[in-house]
Amino acid sequence: ATQKPDRMAWVSHLTAIRDDKDQKAFAEVFGHFAPRVKAFLMKSGASPDLAEEVAQEVMATLWRKAHMFDPTKASVSTWVFTIARNRRIDILRKQRRPEPEDLPWGPEAEPDQEDVLALQQESEQLGVALAALPEKQRDLIVKAYYGDLTHSEIAEQTGLPLGTIKSRIRLALERLRHQLK
Amino acid sequence: MNEIKHHLTDALLMAYSAGTLPEGFNLVVATHISMCDECRARMMEFDTVGGAVMDAETPANVSDESFAATLELIAKDDTALHEPVAETPARNGLFPSPLQDYVGGDLDAVKWRRVGGGVRQAILKTDKSASVRLLHIPAGVAVPDHGHRGTELTLVLQGAFRDESDRFATGDIEVATDELDHQPVAEEGMDCICLAATDAPLRFNSWIPKIAQPFLRI
Ligand SMILES: [Zn+2]
Ligand SMILES: [Zn+2]
């Protein structure tokens, strides 16, 4: 049961949800992500009941907004994280979250498979790099994402290995920009 | 647009991605990212880190009814599916869209108030964890000399200013902490318009702004 489908498989699941309203694909996505979203929210301070309720909302949003998912910009994990984070800000912090202006291009119906593969591999490598960090450093990053560090506390952490966990996603973005011109 | 030289720090981007910044800071960060591809790409990296953190989490137990409940939720509000994908409007005017959301329009919608010396400001409504304002500084005019108790973010939307640390032009962001005392001066030639947020009141070094401080809500 711990056999993890790779990121490209999640991307095709999202396509199946978008194009065919495929409930079987959705069940698999739910089975993997809902328990992680729930855990993420509980660690961020939500009660188990609230966390489960919000996890359901997050997964429903994934279904509804499947057409907004762009595999040249994010892996499914990243996308689910941003949905969960936004709900957390909404519900736990009762704050509005200003989002950057959209890029002048939206998700294409059929994105270039090479771009998709490159971005998905980058995301995978970043996950591997994070897992390979010494425990102390990884803990700090994890704490920051669970809301246990303020931005000034993050700034004080000189030991944060931000360089090593950064990927080449910016190159992927530059390539996209370039192709558009 | 000229090349942006001063960018967001890793700490700010990471906290923005984690969703733990004060709302006023989020607004400045989102506005800078709207103007800056480099920081947008860095934000995407930090979002990817967030995804990896969530993915590495030990899964919690989700009840057996949860999947059915989610399908019900979807069936209840399936209307969103049929909404056309919102076209991103081409940006018109000076302000990127997150800022326009808070102002309720572009530059001509700003309700300026004079704060002395020809400088005008407009405070934008956010939660109390930070205060955020637009500043209009006439060309050649200086903002009162001050220090900072917390963090101050200043994003240039039009024109340029100089202070003790450097020159900041359109798109640049200055991240000032309690170590910096400065007196920003708008460059000659064009009025400078900035978006500035602080999470603690400023420390003014002369007595007139100190008296005015409660009125200016700086
Ligand atoms: Zn930047
Ligand atoms: Zn200042």
Q: Is residue A12 part of a domain?
A: yes
Q: How far is the CA of B122 from the centre of ligand 1 (A)?
A: 24
Q: Report the SS3 class of residue A82.
A: helix
Choice among A12-26, A114-128, A142-156, A159-173 with the minimum mean pLDDT: A159-173
Containing B197, the helix (H) or strand (E) segment is: strand B192-198
Does A105 score more than 70 pLDDT?
no
Domain housing A167: 7-180
Q: Check if the beta carbon of residue A172 is closer than 8 Å to that of residue A115.
A: yes
pLDDT at A1: 40
Q: How far is the CA of B43 from the centre of ligand 1 (A)?
A: 10
pLDDT per residue as tens, chain B (218 positions): 568 999 999 999 999 999 999 999 999 999 999 999 889 988 998 999 999 999 999 999 999 999 999 999 999 876 555 554 444 455 568 999 999 999 999 999 999 999 888 999 999 999 888 999 999 999 999 988 888 889 999 999 999 999 999 999 999 999 998 888 899 999 999 999 999 999 987 777 766 566 666 656 66
User: Residue A137: which CATH number?
Assistant: 1.10.1740.10
Residue ranges and CATH numbers for the domains of chain B are 1-218 (2.60.120.10)
Give the gap in angstroms from C-alpha B19 to the nearest C-alpha of chain A. 6
Any residues with CB less than 8 A from the CB of B64 and at least 6 apart, and which? Answer: none
> Under an 8 A CB cutoff, do A174 and B20 touch?
no
Any residues with CB less than 8 A from the CB of B133 and at least 6 apart, and which? Answer: B121, B122, B123, B124, B195, B196, B197, B218
User: A91 or B82: whose pLDDT is higher?
Assistant: A91
C-alpha R_g of chain A:
17
Residues of B in contact with A43 (CB under 8 A): 57
Q: Is residue A139 part of a domain?
A: yes
- The residue of chain B nearest to residue A67, with distances taken between CA atoms, is B85
Q: Is residue A28 part of a domain?
A: yes
Any residues with CB less than 8 A from the CB of B82 and at least 6 apart, and which? Answer: none
Give the gap in angstroms from C-alpha B119 to the nearest C-alpha of chain A. 27
Number of domains composing chain A: 1
> What DSSP string runs through B57-125?
SPPPP--TTHHHHHHHHHHHTTHHHHSPPPPPPPP-SSS-HHHHHHHTSSGGG---EEEETTEEEEEEP
Q: Is residue A2 part of a domain?
A: no
Q: How far is the CA of A170 from the centre of ligand 1 (A)?
A: 12
Question: Binning pLDDT at 50, 70 and 90, where does residue A2 land?
Answer: very low
Q: Is residue A44 part of a domain?
A: yes
Distance CA A61, CA A83 (A): 8
pLDDT digits (tens, 9 = 90+) for A149-168: 988 898 888 777 777 666 66
* Residue where the block lists tokens 């270039």: A112
